[in-house]
Chain A
């Protein structure tokens, strides 16, 4: 187990190093840099001023020097500063982490709370009207684009309640603050719940046909106990994989939801920073998201062993 952990940790570091190189190079392959963007808002370009600012920001140095400076700073906890806001990169990133974490966490909880039980029900009631209804629901969850669903939800709120849950600086009361988290989370979680539900259903159907399930039923075990204690546990492996993948996606892929609901989270900030070629923000944010994703993958691997004792990570 110890050797496995060390090997996985080494792989994590290698992955992060690879990602750091890729994001560093790719950002510089994109046409235009921060100075072009700065001048864009001034509607002109003055070559002398441009050169001066490039020197000021260190963009005139060679790429290896720029990379070494960034990584050196990162290892010492210095993330640099945002070229746009001229504030510390950490001060820009840190307040957005809880916003995205709250949204992603709630969305994942929603997805699991809806997806797993409905997947089980759909499998147990296979080919009944309820199963068909749930399958249509899950299919629509996968088919409906998030931005469309988000706008539809907002329009529905405006039409029905005369208000809507989008971020503003001062939510009116606790109710609105709660809605600001729950509604976007439900909107983004709808797609994830559909995926989890479909996978739970198919995994359950496979397990429900196994001999030991039939045996459990034959010896008179309570059906709910058979379904949830015996079948679901064994059907959970692929579901956990998908939940892990969804968690990784939610760590940085909420751009559409954050945009539609105007949530000041990490994904929207990342996209805006890419648009602004704000290298320190983009590089450090991508590294943060990459770290989260590899950590989630690692955790999922460990969960396999917990769920299925036949899997031994040391092997």
Chain B
């Protein structure tokens, strides 16, 4: 745990407890910086927290990660539209009692059938379909959803999956009304959340207003929220310093900018935390010579993770495996365990000597370099590490050429497997192995960009997913993570950290430390002005 990590966690706890100590005041409009114009207002259709941040307040979930607890875990899940939940004896049926008397923003009553409609739509079973459905795979274990009256709904599973609750608690799992089409939810969403949708002006602003009929008595405290879309980060940060915004876009403040904020706005409260987004090396294992496991192993051995961390984040980022490392991550391996995996050993020179030996054995050397295009997306957070990667590959006779891919065609290119090697970023919405493993490493998953497929390991995915004992499950998860790294499935280079800053008047915000997708319900936020 780095000094910054400790300080950040302490700061989070301090900020939280300080806010709790004061008596909240009602009223006021919170003004927040929104970094870009989200693709739509429909959280189910998007895979970026540019949508969750402004629109999570419009909706409610069945269950949700407790908003004033910084670390998401099974223990921090609380009911929202559900009042309670229970598992069947065989752990294959998850039943929720739902809240009575809740109204949608258009005045219609919420019933358990809305839950069924929502997740049937996510499972692609309804005639009115989402344009995009990035989290359909989350519910692949759900066999059926049935309702018993207006206030009870059951998820019937193919096999036990305790983590289904974690997936349902994510900011990515709001309940939509049966009576609103997918198109309505994209443009003028209807929810049961603390704030009603008022307007979404592309590239300009998003406005929410207090929902007077919110099911939680006395909440929200705020009269509304104004999100101003500012694409230029310099302008936005100056705006925050000048008091134009009560809050920056979450985890968007880099270490150098954070220094500026501290210097120019000493009253601002800033918390640095991991995004649970990993920077990783992707290798097309179908394309020669990368179909040779030895070449992939050599590539993993040459990575100097500490250099990446020092250059890209001034030492702030963390080194870990697939799962976010502790103390913020719940499932991450210890440093000692990490050090035993391919390419994670502290002696970089020895790792590289080993990698060079492999490459020489394959006929490569200083006079016969392996030429390869390193593809990456045309965004600085992708390009910068790709350049460092090229430098590291040179050490083992691989001459990389940067292939900057227009961002709009990046995922299409990956889906076509039209690359040899590349650098990618992968976000985990929920700090739970079910989300990370199935989404990124299971055979046939649309988000499994390297095409890594290990049927035996998939059985291990299922085994850990069914395990109800957290300690046993953790051990299984570590073993899977170790194998993923040793198989060079998608070598994880680093887990980045950035900061969120709030103005002195804003109270009640807790920066979540192991997911950047789940903490924006905002019904407990208030302004002390």
Residues of A within 8 A of B (CB): 31-32, 36-47, 49, 52-53, 82, 84-87, 92, 95, 151, 154-155, 157-158, 162-164, 166-170, 259-262, 264, 268-269, 272, 275, 277
Contact = CB atoms under 8 A, between A and B. Distances in A.
Contact of B409 (A31, A95, A169, A269): A31
Interface string B201-244: 11111010000000000000000001011111011101101111
Interface stretch (B44-52, B313-321, B365-373): B44-52
B228 A262 contact: yes
B23 interface: no
Given A42-B45, A43-B47, A32 B412 contact: yes
Nearest to B236: A262
Nearest to A86: B187
A32 B415 CA distance: 14
B134 A42 contact: yes
Contact of A45 (B226, B264, B415): B415
Contacts of A151: 234-235, 238
A52 B230 CA distance: 33
Which of B31, B234, B238 has the most A CB atoms < 10 Å from its CB? Answer: B238
B410 A260 contact: no
A262 B207 CA distance: 17
Q: Top 8 closest A-B pairs, CB basis?
A: A32-B408, A41-B39, A264-B204, A43-B47, A42-B132, A42-B134, A44-B446, A32-B409
Given A31-B406, A41-B48, A86-B186, A46 B446 contact: yes
Given A43-B134, A169-B205, A268-B203, A36 B228 contact: no
B407 interface: yes
A98 to B, nearest CB: 13
A43 B424 CA distance: 11
Interface of B: 29, 31, 37-40, 45-48, 50-51, 129, 131-134, 183, 186-187, 200-205, 207, 226, 228-232, 234-236, 238-239, 241-244, 264, 406-412, 415, 427, 446-447
Contacts of B412: 32, 36, 39, 45
A39 B132 contact: yes
A92 B202 contact: yes
Contacts of B31: 168-169
B262 to A, nearest CB: 15
Given A82-B202, A151-B234, A272-B37, A40 B411 contact: yes
B207 A164 contact: no
A85 B406 contact: no
Contacts of B234: 151, 260
A259 B229 CA distance: 11
B407 A164 contact: no
Contact of A38 (B29, B132, B229, B446): B132
A259 B203 CA distance: 10
Nearest to A37: B408
Which of B31, B37, B408 has the most A CB atoms < 10 Å from its CB? Answer: B408
Given A84-B39, A85-B187, A44 B228 contact: no
A262 B39 CA distance: 19
Contacts of B241: 158
A261 B203 contact: no
Contacts of A154: 235, 238
Contacts of B205: 169, 264
B32 to A, nearest CB: 11
A16 B470 CA distance: 68
Contacts of A87: 187
Given A163-B242, A164-B244, A169-B228, A43 B202 contact: no
Given A46-B446, A169-B205, A169-B207, A164 B238 contact: yes
Nearest to A47: B415
Contacts of A52: 129
Nearest to A263: B204
A27 B446 CA distance: 28
B201 A260 contact: no
A32 B416 CA distance: 14
B505 to A, nearest CB: 15
A277 B446 CA distance: 23
A49 B203 CA distance: 26
A58 B284 CA distance: 34
Given A259-B231, A272-B203, 5 more contacts: A84-B39, A87-B187, A166-B238, A168-B226, A269-B202
A44 B415 contact: yes
Nearest to B409: A32
Nearest to B37: A272
A266 B23 CA distance: 45
B409 A162 contact: no
Nearest to A32: B408
Nearest to A261: B235
Given A82-B202, A86-B187, A269-B202, A259 B232 contact: yes
Given A85-B202, A162-B243, A262 B235 contact: yes
Contact of B408 (A44, A158, A167, A277): A277
A264 B229 CA distance: 9
Given A40-B410, A268-B203, A167 B228 contact: yes
Contacts of A277: 408
A213 to B, nearest CB: 48
B410 A272 contact: no
A86 B183 contact: yes
Contact of A163 (B37, B243, B407): B243
Nearest to B135: A42
A175 B46 CA distance: 40
A85 B410 CA distance: 22
B131 A43 contact: no
Contact of B203 (A31, A39, A260, A264): A264
A167 B412 CA distance: 36
Contacts of A262: 228-232, 235-236, 239
Contact of B238 (A36, A84, A158, A167): A158
B407 A40 contact: yes
Contact of B230 (A36, A40, A84, A166): A166
Nearest to B415: A45
A95 B29 CA distance: 24
B62 to A, nearest CB: 23
A256 to B, nearest CB: 10
A84 B427 CA distance: 24
Nearest to A172: B244
Which of A42, A268, A277 has the most B CB atoms < 10 Å from its CB? Answer: A42
Contacts of B243: 162-163
B47 A41 contact: yes
